Amino acid sequence: MQAKPETQTTGRFVDWFPYLPWLTLGVMLLSLIAAAFLERTLISTNVTVDPDAPTELQPIQLKKEPFGALRIDVAASLPSNQWVTYEIQVKDKDGKILASGIKQAWAESGTWAEEGESGTWAEDDLLGGLDVRTNQAEPVTIALDVLEYSDTAGRELDTAVPFQITVKNGVVDDRYLWAGVFGTFAIAFITLFSVSSTGKMVMNKSNRDSDVTGRGTMGGSDRLLRVVVKVKSDEHSPRGLNVRLTMNDENGEQIYTKTYPVDVSLSKNEGRVTGGNSTLTKFFILEARGSYGFHVEVTPDLSIDRTRILIRENARTLYPVEVTTIKTADVH
């Protein structure tokens, strides 16, 4: 049975699915970039608010945006060991509250001593905020009200509290986008690496020598075979090896043989070579389905510790690759 090997580069078996997460990742990154340009600062000012005497800012015209929302960031300015509870309100032109939020802000500091050592500490939580999205264009007013103001001893204070207020429109909450970016990035890498293990394993043979032989049932005009030869060598490994791959049909007749040069990845410890690893990956189509034998021989063989051959059927690729199609005389 005479074989007719033909080798050509083809994208017929490319798996496009692993590229979808990368496309999604690109869309997310573009969204993050676009969000930065959509954001506009409407107000950035300092105000002081007396307890139980709300302060209102000048009305602003809120427009309906295709993306983003109105974000109000409020930061209280407190001396150490004081607490303030304040409320942020967004009102329409008739004074009706559209949205509100309450924040308990505080600033504390002190000293510590332990095992003969001492120092100071300071902590605070001063920033509050509110996001509002409107369904229509309308003027709105932002009000700030101090509900409670005291020190850490529980004494109520009646002095005015300073605040820094920043109002932006078209703000996108990018926390979820960043979570999506990192999650999609991980999925994208997993899908890329998973392509090499696509298909059914039809041969997995190894030998503690420079050659290995195996036989299995495989083939078919639409079934791509991924043939991988892995070679492990010792500390005397050269930088390059020759891998001879031979195929036989069910009658034992040789239908393919070729020697491939492969580079060796050397492992080193403190500058000394401790071993080497090399891999050869080739793609084949055996048009006639049947029993096929594979034989691998690695030269030079003095440094070879193990040779392994793995074959997957119905394999997929990430990009166009060279595929050798082997036809026999009785395949038309």
User: Cβ contacts of residue 76 below 8 Å, gap of 6+?
Assistant: 84, 86, 105, 126, 128, 161, 162, 163
| Residues 328/290, Cβ–Cβ less than 8 Å | no
pLDDT at res. 331: 45
Average pLDDT of the residues in 294-319: 94
CA atoms lying within 13 Å on the CB side of residue 278:
25
Which CATH number fits the domain 40-171, given the four candidates 2.60.120.380, 3.30.70.360, 3.30.1360.120, 3.80.10.10?
2.60.120.380
Tokens coding 180: 């999506």
pLDDT at res. 233: 95
pLDDT digits (tens, 9 = 90+) for 78-90: 999 999 999 999 9
Tokens coding 82: 């004081």
- The pTM is what? 0.65
User: Cβ contacts of residue 128 below 8 Å, gap of 6+?
Assistant: 73, 74, 75, 76, 86, 88, 101, 103, 105
pLDDT at res. 332: 42
Average pLDDT of the residues in 209-226: 93
Average pLDDT of the residues in 232-245: 94
Domain ranges within the chain, ordered by starting residue? 2-15+197-329, 40-171
Q: Has residue 64 got a pLDDT over 80?
A: no
pLDDT digits (tens, 9 = 90+) for 315-332: 999 999 999 999 865 544
What torsion do the CA atoms of 188, 193, 195, 197 make, to the nearest 10 degrees? -140
| Closest alpha carbon to 63 in 130, 135, 141 | 135
pLDDT at res. 3: 64
Residue type, 204: N
pLDDT at res. 181: 84
Q: Average per-residue pLDDT in the chain?
A: 89
Tokens coding 275: 């071993």
pLDDT digits (tens, 9 = 90+) for 127-165: 998 888 877 778 889 999 999 999 888 888 989 999 999
Average pLDDT of the residues in 180-204: 88
Q: Please name the CATH architecture into which domain 2-15+197-329 falls.
A: Sandwich (2.60)
The angle at the Cα of 249, spanning 247 to 253, to the nearest 5 degrees, equals 85
| Closest alpha carbon to 326 in 8, 34, 25 | 8
Element housing 180 (H / E): helix 174-194
Q: What DSSP line would sit under 16-80, residue for residue? A: -TTHHHHHHHHHHHHHHHHHHHH-EEEEEEEEEEBBTB-EEPPPEEEPP-SS-EEEEEEEE---T
pLDDT at res. 100: 92
pLDDT at res. 39: 78
DSSP state of 185: H
pLDDT at res. 232: 96
Q: Has residue 61 got a pLDDT over 50?
A: yes
Confidence of residue 126 (pLDDT cuts 50, 70, 90): very high
User: Cβ contacts of residue 152 below 8 Å, gap of 6+?
Assistant: 81, 82, 83, 108
Can 2-15+197-329 and 40-171 be said to share one CATH topology? Answer: yes
pLDDT digits (tens, 9 = 90+) for 95-109: 888 889 999 999 998
pLDDT digits (tens, 9 = 90+) for 21-47: 889 888 888 877 877 777 788 889 999
- Angle at which helix 19-38 crosses helix 174-194, to 10 degrees, equals 160
| Residues 164/72, Cβ–Cβ less than 8 Å | no
How far is Cα 140 from Cα 63, in angstroms, rounded to an integer? 10
Average pLDDT of the residues in 45-53: 90
pLDDT digits (tens, 9 = 90+) for 240-295: 999 999 999 988 899 999 999 999 999 988 889 999 999 999 999 999 899 999 99
pLDDT at res. 95: 86
Tokens coding 117: 């050592």
